[in-house]
Structure formats: C-alpha cells, structure tokens
Structure 1
C-alpha cells in the first residue's frame, strides 16, 4: 500500500512553455535510480494522482519530478499552477523496474528518451551504478531546442566524463549542430553511431527507452533489425523500457 505524505514545493523551474520541474520536501524511502513515485492533489472528495519518475539521485534528500502540462489535464493543469511554498501529495515509496541493476553486464549503455522521459536517466547518471559502463550514450528527442530539459547538466557531464556522449535530436525546427528529425531516422541512417563514435549492436550494448509510446515502438522496430529484443528478467535481451502515455 502506498505511503502518502504532504510535501512542500521547495523549488519550481520552468524549462519551456508547460515543461516544469518541481523539487519537493519529501521523506523518500530508499529507492533505485529510474524508479517513480505517485504525485497527487485532493480535489473535492477525489485524490487525482499520476506516476512521475524521480529525477534526483539516490543520495539526494529531496524528490524532483519533471512533467509537461497537458491542456485540460486533470492533474498537470493544476500542478502547473503551484508555486514554491505550496503543497501537494506524494508517495514516499518508489517503484519500477527501469533500473540499472536490471541491465545485463555489457560495456555500452544507450539511454534514449523523448520529452520528460529524460528524467529517470538524470537520476541514473548521478548514481554509482553508472560507473560500471565503459560508454554511455544519451539521446534526447524533443520538438524544439528550448525543450531540452537538463541540457546544461548533460553537456557538463559530457565535458568532464569522456565515457559520455549527449546527443539531442530536434524534430520540428532547424538547429545549429544538433541532429534534426526523428530519433528513428537518425538511428537508421547511422548518424547517431557516427556522432557517438560507437556501433550499436546486440553483442556489446543495452538500450533503455523512456518516453512517448510511439517512439518506443518505432525504436524497437529499428533495433529488431539489429537482432536486439526486449529484455526480460528470465529471458535476457537488449532493450528495457518505461512508457509515458
């Protein structure tokens, strides 16, 4: 049974129109990077709640979530109106299987996200477990360049850690130096591997997918052409995923 607590908003950051992160004063129970909590608001007699991945690392004291405001969304439209010092409801226990200790022992890890799906990857990159990989490639697809949440942090990691490649993909505008179009197009063309200077094959790589369900389906199809299949606990594969509907 979920453990609900009243949490105070310590910080509110607007990355782009409707793209917001909240830092919460929440007594989190021990969790694994990549897991999610539930966040909610009491509206009349009903508690409206949704799952949100934790962006903060396992050793950070405060919970952080990232969300897109959905027009007329029963929860996000209300969350977007909250400011620092206001309160909401959140669970202290986190759940989910998109975690690094479920990833097989391979040298290379690929993190492919759209939109707010970048959140759990930020948590993973700041965890001790990420150190076991020889290379980590982060691919973040958004419609516009301004929607690249945590870009400065990811570029900073890339600068100080030669294992890391950060590759944004922008689908709806021209950019200077960034990949354009869909993630699948850049995978199929080989542009991603060229920029990462790393071959994406079934022998030495594992792929984490997080974000839009259409992206996950389409990337899976591209990876299937490389003999890469969904990873299951009792049937090892090459692809783990978390779908954001």
Structure 2
C-alpha cells in the first residue's frame, strides 16, 4: 500500500517559463529502479491534488528530481510551478512502474526516444551503468517543439563526451530551426531514414527501442517500427519496442 512522505523543496529550477525541474529532499533513503515513477501531492483550497511523475535523478542520489511542464489548466502542475525552496510537498512510496531496463531484452543497440518531459526516465537510466554494460550503442533522441525545451543539455553533453563511442544524442525540434537538431516528428524521421542517418546506425531486429511521451508519437512510432520488423515488447512475448505513455 502506498504511503506518503513529506519532502522539502531544495530547488525549483526554470528551464523556461513553463518547463522546470523540482529537486526534493525526503526524510529517509528512497529506493527505486531507474525509469520508475512516484506521485507528488499537494493540498490547496481544501482539495488534495496528486499526479505521477518519473524520477530523473540517479537511484543512489539522496535528492529526488522531477522534470515538469506547467499545464495552465491543470490542477497540480501550476501549484508545483510556484513552489519555492523550503516548502513541503508529498511524495508517494514505494515507487511504481515497469518502464525499466530490466524489462528490456538483450540487443546490440538501445534507442531511447522521448518527447517533452518523457526524457525524464532516460536521464535516470543514463546515470547508471546498466545501459552501458548491456548495449554496444546507445542513442538518446529527444523531440520538443522549441529549442528552449531541450533541458539538461550540459549534462547530456558531458555524458556523451565521457562515452563518445557508445552514447549518442540527437535533439529534434519541430517548430523552429535549431543548429544540430533535426526538424519534424520522430515517426516521420524514422520513416524517411533521417534519424538513422543522423545517428549513423540502423534500426533492426537487433535493436531495442524505448518510447516515452506523447501518445500520438508512441502510436505512430510503433507503427513505423513494426513495418521495420520491430515488434512491441511484452512479458509473455519479448520484442523490440517498450513503451510508456506519459500523459
């Protein structure tokens, strides 16, 4: 049964006016597997609001971190957006979810594809040794609308610099030109071959793909990957494509 811990905000970092990272200290060690999520909760105006958010931090980091986009007509995210250092919020325990690397079969390459805040679980995974020990090549693909939505750029680049032969990063920006980024949607860039060309690798049945984010992206990407012979990964029938719907 889920329990609630009272956490303390130690930082609310704004990437832009809508996208922010919330760092939270909890009163005791918090164990989770990279890729899992918890619920954050706040009370306001006599109501209690809660929503699931993936953990961005490494599993051995004592400070929990969440990448959040403010939804103006949402119940919780505007409240979280206003939190300041020292304020309290509730964090559910234990963590939940099966969007983890131990659910992904063996393969030669690992493609981590996300839209928006869906990059969160991958950031946690890449702070462990698991993907680097299991896969020869790792491709982090992050699709957003505007360049300002490309969070954690310095951290990602530091990881790429440390593992240049193994880890590759490809941003995608759909609504404006951005140096170094592809333009368009993930499914279309798979279909055209532009994504594979940019990363210098090929999506085959020796690849493992994780999809996280916009349900439309996941639906369409699954279809184009299936056309390439990459089937959905299920516990009862292992395949190549593991998915997490993010909203």
Same fold (TM over 0.5): yes
Deviation per CA, 1:53-111, whole angstroms, max 9, x where unpaired?
Answer: 00001111111011100012110011111111111111131110010111111121000
Q: Which secondary structure state, in structure 1, belongs to the residue aligned with residue 43 of structure 2?
A: strand
Aligned counterpart, 1:209: 211
Q: How does 1:143-222 map to 2 (within 5 A)?
A: 143-161=145-163, 162-202=165-205, 204-222=206-224
Q: Which secondary structure state, in structure 2, belongs to the residue aligned with residue 241 of structure 1?
A: strand
Cα deviation for residue 187 of structure 1 reads: 1.1
Aligned counterpart, 2:131: 130
Q: How does 1:45-194 map to 2 (within 5 A)?
A: 45-131=46-132, 132-161=134-163, 162-194=165-197
Q: Which secondary structure state, in structure 1, belongs to the residue aligned with residue 143 of structure 2?
A: strand
Deviation per CA, 1:97-139, whole angstroms, max 9, x where unpaired?
Answer: 0101111111210000000001000000011211221110011
Q: Which secondary structure state, in structure 1, belongs to the residue aligned with residue 237 of structure 2?
A: coil
What stretches of structure 1 move > 2 A for 4+ residues in a row?
43-46
The RMSD of aligned alpha carbons is 1.1
Contact 2:56–2:124 under 8 Å retained in 1:
yes
Contact 1:66–1:116 under 8 Å retained in 2:
yes
Counterparts of 2:8 and 2:180, CA distance in 1 = 40
Contact 1:28–1:63 under 8 Å retained in 2:
no
Deviation per CA, 1:191-216, whole angstroms, max 9, x where unpaired?
Answer: 111121111011x1110011111111
Contact 2:35–2:100 under 8 Å retained in 1:
yes
Q: Any stretches of 5+ residues in structure 2 without a counterpart?
A: none
TM-score, length-normalised on structure 2?
A: 0.96
Counterparts of 1:187 and 1:28, CA distance in 2 = 41
Aligned counterpart, 2:239: 237
Cα deviation for residue 159 of structure 1 reads: 1.6
Counterparts of 1:45 and 1:2, CA distance in 2 = 22
Counterparts of 1:106 and 1:139, CA distance in 2 = 18
Give the number of aligned pairs: 244
Cα deviation for residue 10 of structure 1 reads: 0.8
Aligned counterpart, 2:20: 20
Q: Any stretches of 5+ residues in structure 1 without a counterpart?
A: none
